[in-house]
Structure 1
């Protein structure tokens, strides 16, 4: 399996999985994709149906990482995906399932269900990929004797998941940018309370998109990136996305009895990485009917899927909402999908993509819009603060389940796209304890907390404040890098 950049596919030599594992962005500013998506046969689907999560992860990831010896990769997936790591399950769920499926009920002539992705150490779906990334990074660095300085940006969940996956790992330091004052109190405490000497939290005076732009700017400086061994853990890193492909297969198996059945997935979306993994699973041959992209008030992606126009917003136009992990107006992974949409024609893709910088947007014709809907199976929906409060109340009253604000956005969008006879699986984003302020507003009581998180906000916090300036971040890295 070889990889190339969305922006230099016709010019650069393809690379292996281990070549791109530590790199993040390609040197030309593009995102890595495999030269082709591996296809899953009917026999493989049948054989995989009864596998544990760790063994399923091995079977899927080995198709993308064939330069890692099979025994080594299998040992990694079995070490990462254990009930000891993913233990924060709800009552009645089995931690050994890793991502248990919770059926809410029958609505619109079909089954509405949640795929529990938030049982890991930071209570968010980002753990599902990040724990694996931490193990893969350590494995790759040990083989070469190298070190790595990870630079990331977070709107809340990526940062804590990355830090908990990398804390104490040999040869790794983490520099995590977050928008100052824009995360929930729980998210902030979860990150800033870490005292590990290889973890550096940087509160940027701006919004998430400012932080993400800094990460991209540093990644687009090849000399600095090489000298200071800069790597990324944001979903621009291909390994992050491919690790997330696994739970689409696991969710499908949990919701069906035979491989001729189809399911739909609704995905709360910010940076488009999570739903991009669903797109890849579908391209591999997983029987997915619909992929519903759910947004909050920062509805750039919903606007695109409804109208065909992609208009990334400026920093000041990004709203701070009660589902803050989705407060993103420039979705990095969207580039991967658009590249596939253009049939991987690099020249045609670039002619369209450059319009974002020159004109601020691009608009697709009706033929392309029909392909998005009919060939790629995408739909979308939008949720507001009042919508998510109403959804949280309704799901609690109807099913006795408390969901977080982002998952509520997903449920709201899912209910607008139900098809009789096709199960709808909403990907859970986080446990509600991470956003208890809004849960209390909706239900009049705080969100339930898993054991061990009762006094998180009272712990001492360690972080530095920086301006939203690339050079300031570079100077900080130089001062503290390995």
Structure 2
């Protein structure tokens, strides 16, 4: 299996090269030359496997045997998921029906897939535990035959976070030999728990940078650093954001696992004709893109609901075909601060990968093809040319519009819904206070991002065409509620008009942080922190770039001389 850039100038890379490169030198994102298509019998044969076994099988399809032998690959995956608190890795939980339309059978088939049982209690752990071990494996191999008196090969990991990627990357890379990790976060725009979790890791190879501005500003600095070829080559830059292909690949595993988990609960889908759809709270589009790859591999997912907060570039695209940065009336680019800060993103980086496939002509599946290699190459070149043109328009003009056939192809598999902070808080409140209604199910605590996905699922179900075919909806639960205490506690403890406190037959005792958070997060309070703050002179990205690069130079420059 080889890899190419979405923008066409880099091609023929090995998996190892794609992992270390992260972002292609032409600014594009790496994708596989082809997507392995599995027959239904092979997919179903995985139904009884453990999570690590399913993940290993998926990785094997995209990584050549001579790059990582079977035994080594299985070991990497097993060690990565051994850090999770449950052998299921991503357990599936049934949600109670707490809407006002409790007679809608589809609302009785609502699940959450808990992706937050890793070391930092966020879905990013699924991929970043694997990526950290892949970095370690490849570095050990690079260094094993070096002369004893030569300097070891090392990498500088540079990433941006809207809250959870940073913590997961740090926990996946802390203490790793020959790795230094620099994580940029927007100062004051992540939760206090997320900030404490990252900055209280004091390992010598971990470096946090708080940048004045938004997540998009941090992301732009990271991308600009990768595009700065002398800087990139000197410091051996490596990426941990979802621009790194290994992250998308790792996340594909929980779509297969959860599909089988629902099937085990309800019986054969073939007999009932049942369908499975996913609602995915979406910021940078990596989480839902992993599901697209699962479909292209043959997993029979019916539909994806792209759930956005008021930073709704993806929702607007699927309504109009126009992918455009949101602006204020004065023309300034605008990112709104919401209760779901990890989704407060102006541009979704991974969307470029999906659009490449849609331009190429791939919708739900590529299907049987008799096309010659030359014809396939021509289709790939056309897709890359379109992507390069549109990404330049996005950079220069703030947006681009795709042809109608491209949008129609996307709508075959994706729908979208944009929710508000009010609806998000209401969902958190409803699912917690459900225990005080006449229904006996226990309460469920949603984090604000998961709540966005749940609201989107409810609305799509309620406005869809009724059907006698069972539809099971899985909402991806992306983080522990303990990572966003202000939003969660306010929503639970503030009594809303439709749910008066007098309705609680046993009374209501206000919920505390310790009630909703894992003990490991509670224990973070008061720990010493280490962080470097970078000002950008009021948002000047060029100033921010130079200051961040200066921090890297001052911190680890002695390890990477200019002559290397």
Under a length normalisation based on structure 1, what TM-score does the superposition of the two structures give?
A: 0.94
Q: 2:489 aligns with which of 440, 449, 466?
A: 440
> Which of 411, 414, 434 is the aligned partner of 1:373?
411
CA distance in 2, matches of 1:141, 1:296: 39
Higher alpha-carbon Rg: 2
SS at match of 1:194: coil
Show the 5 A alignment for 1:146-157. Answer: 146-157=153-164
1:103: how far off? 1.0
- Report what 2:399 is aligned to: 361
Q: Aligned partners of 1:429 and 1:148: how far apart in 2? A: 29
1:259 Cα offset (Å):
6.0
Distance 1:259 1:43 in 2: 14
1:431 aligns with 2:429: no
- Aligned pairs for 1:30-109 (under 5 A) are 30-66=28-64, 67-82=67-82, 85-87=83-85, 95-105=86-96, 108-109=104-105
Residues 7 and 28, structure 1, Cα contact 8 Å, conserved in 2: yes
Is 1:459–2:459 an aligned residue pair?
no
Once the two structures are overlaid, the 10-residue window that deviates more, 416-425 or 328-337, is: 416-425
Question: Does residue 426 of structure 2 align to residue 390 of structure 1?
Answer: yes
Q: Cα distance, 1:316 vs. partner?
A: 4.9
1:45–1:259 contact (8 Å) kept in structure 2: no
The aligned residue for residue 90 of structure 1 is none
Aligned in 2, Cα 1:197/1:19: closer, same or farther, shift over 3 Å?
Answer: same
Other-structure match for 2:296: 283
Deviation at 1:317, TM superposition (A): 0.5
Which residue of 2 is the match for residue 266 of structure 1?
279
The equivalent residue for 1:334 is: 351
Match of 2:504 in 1: none
Task: Name 2:454's counterpart in structure 1.
Answer: 411
Whether 2:233 is the aligned partner of 1:253: answer no
Q: Render the CA deviation track for 1:72-96: whole Å, top value 9, x for unaligned.
A: 00111111212xx211xxxxxxx21
* 1:427-448 C-alpha deviation (Å, 9 max, x unpaired): 0010100111111111112351
Instruction: Give the conservation status (yes or no) of the 8 Å contact 2:5–2:11.
Output: no
What is aligned with 1:477?
552
- The 1-side partners of 2:388 and 2:269 are apart by 38
- Of the three residues 341, 351, 354, the one matched with 1:324 is 341
Counterpart in 2 of 1:92?
none
List, as ranges, runs of 4+ consecutive aligned residues in structure 1 with deviation greater than 4 Å.
none
Paired residues of 2:52 and 2:81 also in contact (CA < 8 A): yes
User: What is the distance in 2 between the residues matched to 1:214 and 1:280?
Assistant: 28
Q: CA deviation at 1:384?
A: 1.2
Q: Give the equivalent residue in structure 1 for 2:209.
A: 202
Quick one: distance in 1 between partners of 2:40 and 2:431?
36
Q: Alignment length, in residue pairs?
A: 469
Q: Output one character per residue of 1:164-220: Cα deviation in whole Å (capped at 9) or x when no partner.
A: 110011111110000001111110100111111100000001110000000000001
8 A Cα contact 2:193 2:521, kept in partner: no
- CA shift, 1:283, in A, is 1.1
- Larger mean CA deviation between 52-61 and 35-44 belongs to 35-44
Structure 1 CA distance for aligned equivalents of residues 69 and 269 of structure 2: 30
SS of 1:97 mapped into structure 2 = coil
Q: How far apart are 1:42 and its partner, in Å?
A: 1.4
State whether residues 156 and 178 of structure 1, in contact with CA within 8 Å, keep that contact through their aligned partners in structure 2: yes
CA distance, structure 2, for counterparts of residue 449 and residue 401 of structure 1: 13
3-state DSSP of counterpart to 1:206: coil
Alpha carbons 2:123, 2:478 under 8 Å: kept: yes
* Residue pair 1:259, 1:287 contacting (<8 A) in 2 also: no
Deviation string for 1:385-438 (max 9, x for gaps)?
Answer: 111110001111235100100000000111122265111000001010011111
Kept after mapping to 1: 8 A contact 2:10/2:24: no
Partner of 1:91: none
Distance 1:322 1:430 in 2: 13
TM-score (ref. length: structure 2):
0.81
Partners in 2 of 1:35 and 1:357 — Cα distance?
Answer: 26
CA distance in 2, matches of 1:313, 1:36: 34
Distance in 1, Cα, partners of 2:530 & 2:396: 40
Cross-structure match for 2:517: 449
Listed one character per residue, the Cα deviations across residues 444-463 of structure 1 (whole Å, up to 9, x for unaligned) are 12351212332312111110
- Among 113, 116, 119, which residue is 2:114 paired with? 116
Taking the aligned partners of 1:114 and 1:156, their CA distance within structure 2 comes to 21
CA–CA separation in structure 1 for the residues paired with 2:335 and 2:63: 37
**Segment drifting more, 258-267 vs 470-479:** 258-267
CA contact 1:42–1:259 (8 Å) conserved in 2: no
CA distance in 1, matches of 2:397, 2:110: 41
Deviations 1:317-360, CA, capped at 9 Å, x for gaps: 10111111111111110100111110142223333333213332
Q: Which moved more, 1:469-478 or 1:312-321?
A: 312-321
* 1:363 CA displacement: 2.0
Ranges in structure 2 where 5+ consecutive residues have no aligned partner: 144-152, 361-379, 435-440, 494-510, 537-543, 560-564
